[in-house]
Chains A and B, each alone.
Chain A
Amino acid sequence: MELPVLNASQDSAPQGGCASHSCGSTDDQMDHLPESIRQKIYNHPCYSEQAHHYFARMHVAVAPACNIQCNYCNRKYDCANESRPGVVSEVMSPEQAVKKVMAVAATIPQMTVLGIAGPGDPLANPERTFQTFRELSEKAPDIKLCVSTNGLTLPDCVDELAKHNIDHVTITINCVDPDVGAKIYPWIFWKNQRLRGREAAEILIAQQQKGLEMLTARGILVKVNSVMIPGVNDEHLAEVSRVVKAKGAFLHNVMPLIAEAEHGTYYGVMGQRGPTHEELQKLQDACAGDMNMMRHCRQCRADAVGLLGEDRGQEFTMDKIEAMEIDYEAAMVKRAEVHAQIERELAIKEQAKTAKAELIAIQGLKSDKSATRPVLMAVATKGGGVINEHFGHASEFLIYEASPEGVRFIGHRKTTPYCEGGDTCGDGESALDQTLRILKGCEVVLCSKVGYEPWQPLEAAGIAPNGEHAMEPIEEAVAAVYEEMRSAGKLVEATETAQKAA
C-alpha cells in the first residue's frame, strides 16, 4: 500500500477531530485559502508551513515601550541566551534597524520578511515603528513588512499600516471574555490612566476586535496568536478561534505558555504551568474544525534572524553591521534569483505531489485505511524540507503524524543538542535524557545519522532511531517508514484506539 502524502481528497476526511483542510501538512493547510491570500503568503515563513523550510525572516527590536502588562511577560527583558518572545539583546534606533535589515537581506537572500514584534508593543512606539517601515519600503521594496501587536491602539493605526503597504498583521488575542482577561492582564495604559482588572480587559478586548475588523475590511491579512494557559484560557480558546475566524482572521496560532521561575514573570514565579505537548496538540486539533491552524511557530525572539528555529542574530550585531558595505541594488538582483530558484523547486514538488495524489486516487488505495493506527515520528532537519540533521546536533525535532489519512505536521519540540560534535560529549548524558523526554509519544526518530551511544537508550524508550532516509523529503520518508511498520505488522494491535480517534 502506498500512502498518500497529502490529504488529497478532502471529501473523505474524517468527521470531527482534525479536519484535513485545516491541519494537514503543508499544502493542504493552504489549499482552502483563496488564491489571493496564497499569493501573499507562499514565501512567508511564519504563515506558510511549506515556506518555513525555505524562506527566512527577521525581527528588528525598535519598539521597547509597551502599553499593557501580560502575566507571561517580564519587562526586564535583555538576555542573549534565551529565545522567546519579548526578549532581545539590543534595542536599536530606526536608522540602525534599516541598516541591519539591508545587511541581512544582502547576506541571507532567502530572507523575505521583516517583522517588528517588540520587545514591547510596536504600535505603542508608533514613530519608531513607522519610521522603520517607511524607510524600508523605499530602500528595500522586495522585503515583505509585517507587525505584531497586542491590539490596544490598533484601531488608531490601521490607516498608517495600510499606507506602508503592510499586508500582514498579527494580533495577540488570548481571550474574548473580560473575566478571563482579568486573569491574564494586570493593567493597561489607556487615555492617560493605568486601568486594572475587568475594566482594563474589557477595553483591550474591544480594541482588539475592532482592529481585527478594520484590518480585514481593508484586505490586510490578520493572523491571531493566542497563548495557551492551562486553567486560565485553555477551555476558552476554541471560542476565541471561532470569533476571530468569523471576523476574518485567516490563521490562528495557539502557542504554549512559557513560564519558568527564573524568567521572573508573574506566571513563572507563581508556579503557573505551561501545557504539555499533548494538551497543546489536542487544543489545536479542537480549534482546527473551525479554523486554519498554525503549528510551526517557534515563538522566536523580538530580534531573531534566519530560518524559523535558527537564530543568526550574533552575525549581525551593530558593530559588525557598521563594518559591512551593502550594495542593495546588486543584492536585489541576487535575491530575485534565489527566490526564483526556490519557487521553481516548490513548483516541481507541487507537481510531484499532485501527480502522486492523483495516482493514489485512481488506485483507490485508501480503501483499507481503517486497519492501522496513527504513529508520531520525530524528524531532525536543518531546513529545505529534507532529513538532513544528525540526531546529536538537533536542537529541535519536527513532529509528524502518519496515519492512513496521510502525513501531517503536528509541531516542533525543542531540546539541548545531545552532542555538539567532536569526540567527547561532556554532559551529553543529561541532554539525552531531555531529548528522550521531549520525544515522548514518538515511535520513530528520523535523522541523517544517529551515533552508537544514543541508539540503545532510544530503543529502550520505545523510539526507533532511523538514519536510512537521510536527505530524503520529510513527508515521503515518514510515509515510507509508516508503510514499513504496517508491512511488519506493527500497526494493528491498537486498531481500537485508531477507531476511537476517528
Chain B
Amino acid sequence: MAFEIIESCVNCYACEPLCPNQAIYAASPHFMIAEEKCTECIGDHIDAQCVSICPIEGAILDEMGVALNAPGSLTGIPPELLAKIDQQGTAAVL
C-alpha cells in the first residue's frame, strides 16, 4: 500500500511537509515517496495529503498505477482538449 510520484512532478515541495510519515523526499529528477513509509494517510487524515495539494494532474499514482488526480480534475480544462493539445500542440487545436 503506497502511492508513487512520477516524472510529471514539477518539484514544487508542496507535498513534502504535509506527509504524516515523512515518506516524501526531494530527489532528482523529481520528488519520491518511500514505499515502506507511505500509509496513504490512513489513520491520520481523511484525504491523502500529497494528493490533496498536488497541482499537477496525473503526477501521483495509486498502487494500481491509476492517477489520483485525473486529467481535468484540477485545472478544469476538458480532458479531450488536453489530449488534443498534447498530441498536436496548441497552435493546431486552438
Interface centre among A67, A120, A127, A192 (most CB of B within 10 A): A192
> Is the interface on chain A under 10, 10 to 19, 20 to 34, or 35 or more residues?
20 to 34
Complex: how many Å from CA A66 to CA B18? 13
From the candidates B10, B53, B75, B94, name the one contacting A266 in the complex (CB within 8 A): B75
CB-CB under 8 A for A78 and B12, given A186-B75, A192-B47, A269-B85: no
A280 to B91, CA, bound (A): 27
Which of A67, A75, A264 is the most central at the interface, judged by chain B CB atoms within 10 Å of its CB?
A75
Interface residues on B, range: 20 to 34
Say yes or no: is A324 at the interface (Cβ < 8 Å to chain B): no
A462 interface contact, C-beta 8 A:
no
A354 within 8 A of B: no
Chain B residue numbers with a CB within 8 Å of A67 are 14, 53
How far apart are the CA atoms of A187 and B81 in the complex, in Å? 20
Q: Please measure, in the bound complex, the distance between the C-alpha atom of A77 and the C-alpha atom of B53, giving whole angstroms.
A: 17
- Measured in the bound complex, the distance between the Cα atoms of B55 and A127 in whole Å is 20
Residues of the B chain whose Cβ atoms lie less than 8 Å from the Cβ of A186: 74-76
| Chain A window 74-105, contacts with chain B (Cβ cutoff 8 Å), 1 for yes, 0 for no | 01111000000000000100000000000000
User: B56's closest neighbor in chain A, by CB?
Assistant: A75
Indicate if A64 sits at the interface (CB-CB under 8 A): yes
B47 and A193: CB pair below 8 A?
yes
Please encode chain B, from 17 to 58, with 1 for each CB lying within 8 Å of some chain A CB and 0 for all others: 110000000000000000000000000011101001101100
Contact sample, A vs B, 20 pairs, CB 8 Å cutoff: A64-B11, A64-B13, A66-B12, A66-B55, A75-B55, A78-B10, A128-B13, A187-B74, A192-B49, A192-B52, A193-B46, A193-B47, A194-B52, A261-B94, A264-B85, A266-B76, A269-B81, A269-B82, A269-B85, A269-B94
Which positions in A face B, CB cutoff 8 Å?
64-67, 69, 71, 75-78, 91, 120, 124-125, 127-128, 186-187, 189, 192-194, 261-262, 264-266, 269-271
Q: Which residues of B contact A (CB under 8 A)?
A: 10-14, 17-18, 45-47, 49, 52-53, 55-56, 74-77, 81-82, 85, 90-91, 93-94
